[in-house]
Each structure stands twice: as structure tokens, then as C-alpha cells.
Amino acid sequence: MIIRVYEDGVTENKEQEFFLKLVQRGEAVNLMLVDKKGKQIENTILLQIKPNMTLYRYTCINNRLELPLDERNRLKEEHSAY
């Protein structure tokens, strides 16, 4: 699996490829996975950045994509050593 930042245009690749896309939703911004055409993949809103800069990790992320998920199917959280 390859994950890249989404840009307009089509990318040719035989390996399954996903792109990160930021989408404005009201006052917040969602980070989601999309396919090479920019279409959202089912249950792949990964997190939301709220206006006060708080991060919300969505639950029930698509576990068939083999992303690193916790017991609530949210992206795993890793803390900085600094």
C-alpha cells in the first residue's frame, strides 16, 4: 500500500494507492483517504482539525486497508519522545 498527498490528475500505478486529502467541513478540516480520482474511500475520514486546533480521531476507520488502528478502529496515536 502507498499513501500520498492528493493532487488533481490521474496517477498510474499497479499497486493499491491511496491519497491524503484535506476537506473543509464547516469551520473544521477533515483529513481523509481518497483514490487516484479524488473520490473518498469508504470509512476513511482519519481525523478532524477543529477551529481551536484540537484534533479529533474518527472511530470505525475501514480496517480492510491494514492501517495501524487501535481497539476503536481509530488511527494509532504515537507520542513524541521530546
Count Cβ neighbours within 10 Å for each residue of 2-21 and write b for 16 or more, e otherwise: eeeebeeeeeeeeeeebbeb
Predicted confidence (pLDDT) per residue in 44-62, tens digit: 999 999 999 999 999 999 9
The mean pLDDT of 22-40, rounded to a whole number, is 94
How far, in Å, CA of 24 to CA of 12, rounded?
A: 27
pLDDT given at position 46: 96
pLDDT given at position 5: 75
pTM over 0.85: no
Predicted confidence (pLDDT) per residue in 7-29, tens digit: 766 556 556 788 999 999 999 99
Beta strands 17-25; 28-34: pairing state: antiparallel
pLDDT given at position 71: 94
